[in-house]
Structure 1
Amino acid sequence: MSYTVLLVDDDDVNHDIAKTMLGEEHEYFSAFNGDDALTLFDERKYDAVLLDVVMPGMNGYEVCKAIRSRPNHSDTPILFISSKDCIEDKLEGFKAGGDDYITKPFDADELSFRIERLVKYSSEIDTLKVSCETAEEVTMTAITSCSELGQCLEFIEKSYQCNTLSDLSKAILETCSNLDLNASVQIGLLGEFRDFCNFGVINPLESELLKKGRESKTVINIEKRSFFNSCYCSLLVKNMPIEDEEKYGRFNDILALIVRGADARLRSLQTNIQAIQAKNKGLRELSQVASKDLEDIEQVFKNYSHSCQELVERLIFDVEDSILEFGLTSAQEQQLRDTLDGAKDDLKQVQEHSEDMSATFNDFFIKLDKLID
């Protein structure tokens, strides 16, 4: 495998030795001091840097530190080459940022092995960095997606507790606000629709577009504006994240689910309202029939009471005419008259009680009609 190598040494002979050991298949760049090394380093990317420790001006450790502080290619593998073999010198090399340290004298195989190992190690590090960055992006996307999906699930849960158009529209717009979206929504029941928004007011054109979108029952995307539509709900979002294709796709899916959830809740509410209306209609019809029957019963009872009254009065009249023929004493006559008057009073009380009952029934039906309405 061919490498691009930067040789940094103040001795020409050491440059020639390194090139001879590594072979002619590699591309070499030579620097004889620290300043030249940094200039060459800034001009391009190298697979490895062979760096002498003892040099005039900047020593190898200082050059290494300068390379590691560079904005570009600062992770290039660096191999120190030195005649110093004590542990302190090697530790100083690693402290400066070096990747390996080889002491003179060395043979060609060892030098080639050290270079190949550094290049392979650097390549693996680059691969790991890319993998880590990819994993981090995937993780962040997953976390973000979970958060966004959580907003959708939270809305679905809230929607079951919404019993009015105002409550449901508030839940929809709060979810959009939590996603940093400017939204308007048009929802309705039984053919009556209302407009709501989480910013300013809805102008007539937007209201008409929401209506047309709802009738189309499809998703309509126009640059940053998107319409999400169903039979009972139409949602307009004005600031869709079109600059982020992945986020844009997620939002399309999430908002479509929100509209479908709202539509399902509205259908349920409409079914309940229609059932209540049907029940009330039946109660109203029953109330009307019962009220009519009560009027008929009341009239029959009035006629009956009137007949009873006439009968009692005629009986009293007949008895008065016949008292002389009975041969009763005055006390007996008075007792008979008192008995007839008592029966007349009792009949009158029965009539008054029936009138009270009729009034009670009338009050009941009035209250029932109000309750149904």
Structure 2
Amino acid sequence: MENRPKILSIDDNDANQKLVERALGGDYDVKTAMSGLSGIEAAVTFKPDAILLDVDMPTIDGLRLCRMIRSEPLFASTPILFVSGLDSQEDQARGFQAGGDDYISKPIDVELLRQKLNFNLQRALLLDRQSSASNDSLALDQNTQSLHDFLLSLISFRGTQQELGQLVLDALDKLGLKGAVYLHASGDIFSSIGPLTDLESMLLQQATRPYPSEYSARYLWGSDNLGAIIQNMPLARHEQYQPLVQILTTLFSATNQKIVELARPTVTKLTPQRQNPPSVDYAGIQLHGYKLECALEDLENSSEQSLAKVCQRLQELSLQPDKSPQEQQALRMLLDDCMKTRLAIYDQCLEIQSQYSHIMAQLGMKVAFN
């Protein structure tokens, strides 16, 4: 960044815009836009270092505008801070999914605004340096070997949950990934990206399932025992994204199971009577596993391709000038429904993979989804 950092504020409320200009004008080069369309134009011409974005705006709401901005490679890592009266946990989670970095509640606390803006600008510089290094190392065979080494370490691990958290962080580092891990039981956070934003902390503590963001380089994973957030994933459209998600799913699922094992009380085991082990059709299990793998892959690919085409067409239709506001709103609602469906199918496939991997582990068999 040269001279003062450039801040673009997009909000249809004139009073809020004047407040932002007064609060930031001395230290930042501030530009304002009063609508989504003018905000897009300003982003392209002004090339801001950070964007402040209202959620509740007419024609193009803030969530949709955030997705549109994130779809441009130029703004893939630009900090986007939602400034809104819609600040429930559900609203903030939707903001993360749309590609937002942080949330500031209205009415605006000027000091908090300055603190969060400065924090996210500094974070963006750090992640830019880390991302270029990690993206160069996204080789599938190397990552698979790193996962294999981690799983071997996990099998023999007998330490504390705190030591386990650091072990996971070390494994992520070997994958070229930066992020944070949160243990629900102890409340411990292990981070390779320094302090977390309020939004990141909230999401980690609430995470009980995978929650990908298709519009940013972040990935959130959750279970009953831990939450994890990755800050420098390849984008969802990148060829390395899906293989890396599968590696992370295996890594975090195995860690979740190890936490369960560590929490079990130690009991004295009686020597069991010798019994003939039951006969297990391992060949049949492997065959069914292969069929399941192929079916899941077909489901993900076909649903992704079909729904992506529908989403693209709905977005094109909603931007046509001959559409009435009611028609545009209806199209946007359909678009949001399609996006939710895509993520729901994706989450279910991940859950099936996780459960199947766990079953195979109990049988002492190896399984890997391609």
Q: Which has the higher contact order (CA 8 A, sep 6+)?
A: 2
TM interval, shorter chain, is: 0.3 to 0.5
Structure having the larger proportion of residues in helix:
1
What TM-score comes out, normalization by structure 1 length? 0.35
Which protein is bigger by CA-based radius of gyration? 1
